[in-house]
């Protein structure tokens, strides 16, 4: 086998993540993937939390860099979509980010870029961290919700959705009239459209904070 390095471990961990999901990433399963024993991992990584942090940073490395030429609004919307795309590229990617503090060079670099863009866009200094934080938690929250309880493969995801629809339609309509009549729209996610609606609403709302 190849030599075991930190990078090698993190790459394997992301592979396990994609195959087994967040709960499937165990030190033992990861060691198997690498052809070593679980105890050996502790020669390269302090503990599982550090490993998760490294995974989060590896995911953050896939984020594209900002194009500072474009107008801020377009920039921010594209950045938001790119973040969502990267979070969805790895199974339970949003859970990894949510479970992990925003440290690590790649993640910090992404935050720095966002702060830079917001400053250039004319947001007052004191609101720049607010807007950055809110964009981040909005995106992570959305993808978390969007992918919650969904198995990896698309087939069983669709089966689950059908089940949820049938269940929601069977609720007592006297008590839950809107829930029942909107069941189709509630479970049939159209997540892309919904995300765009949300990020645009949020950015529109932020826009009036700008002084330039």
Candidates 32-40, 77-85, 88-96, 125-133: pick the segment binding DNA (CB under 7 A): 32-40
169 near DNA, judged by CB under 7 A = no
46 near its own copies, judged by CB under 8 A = no
Q: How far apart, in whole angstroms, are the C-alpha atoms of residue 77 and residue 71?
A: 10
The single-letter DSSP state of residue 4 is: P
Per-residue H/E/C for 41-81:
HHHCCCCHHHHHHHHHHHHHCCCCCCCCCCCHHHHHHHHHH
Among 70, 159, 177, 192, binds its own copies (CB under 8 A): 177
Residues 6+ apart with CB under 8 A from 16: 24, 25, 29, 30, 33
80 near its own copies, judged by CB under 8 A = no
202 near its own copies, judged by CB under 8 A = yes
Rounded to the nearest whole angstrom, what is the least distance from the CB of residue 3 to its own copies in the complex? 30
Among 11, 18, 38, 77, binds DNA (CB under 7 A): 38
Candidates 28-36, 62-70, 83-91, 170-178: pick the segment binding its own copies (CB under 8 A): 170-178
* Whether 104 contacts 53, CB under 8 Å: yes
* Whether 135 contacts 76, CB under 8 Å: yes
197 near its own copies, judged by CB under 8 A = yes
Look at the block and give the residue holding tokens 């969904």.
Answer: 150
Q: With CB cut-offs between 5 and 8 Å by kind, which of DNA, its own copies, none does residue 182 bind?
A: its own copies
Q: With CB cut-offs between 5 and 8 Å by kind, which of its own copies, DNA, none does residue 91 bind?
A: none
Among 11, 21, 22, 29, binds DNA (CB under 7 A): 29
The single-letter DSSP state of residue 208 is: T
Among 145, 157, 166, 192, binds its own copies (CB under 8 A): 145
Candidates 21-29, 87-95, 141-149, 170-178: pick the segment binding DNA (CB under 7 A): 21-29
Is residue 155 exposed (0-12), middle (13-18) or buried (19+ Cβ within 10 Å)? Answer: exposed
């Amino acid at each position: 086998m190849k030599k075991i390095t930190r990078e090698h471990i993190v790459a394997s961990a992301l592979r396990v993540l994609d195959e087994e999901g967040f709960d499937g990433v165990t030190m033992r399963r990861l060691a198997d993937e690498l052809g070593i024993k679980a105890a050996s991992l502790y020669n390269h990584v302090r503990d599982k939390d550090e490993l998760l942090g490294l995974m989060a940073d590896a995911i953050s490395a896939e984020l594209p860099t900002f194009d500072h030429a474009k107008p801020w609004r377009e920039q921010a919307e594209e950045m938001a979509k790119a973040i969502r795309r990267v979070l969805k590229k790895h199974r339970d990617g949003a859970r990894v980010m949510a479970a992990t503090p925003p440290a690590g060079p790649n993640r910090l670099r992404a935050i720095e870029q966002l702060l830079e863009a917001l400053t250039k866009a004319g947001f007052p200094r004191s609101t720049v961290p607010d807007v950055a934080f809110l964009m981040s938690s909005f995106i992570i929250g959305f993808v978390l919700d969007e992918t919650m309880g969904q198995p990896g493969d698309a087939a069983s995801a669709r089966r689950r959705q059908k089940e949820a629809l049938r269940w929601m339609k069977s609720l007592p309509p006297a008590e839950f009239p809107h829930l029942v009549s909107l069941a189709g729209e509630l479970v049939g996610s159209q997540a892309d459209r919904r995300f765009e609606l949300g990020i645009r609403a949020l950015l529109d709302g932020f826009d009036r904070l700008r002084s330039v």
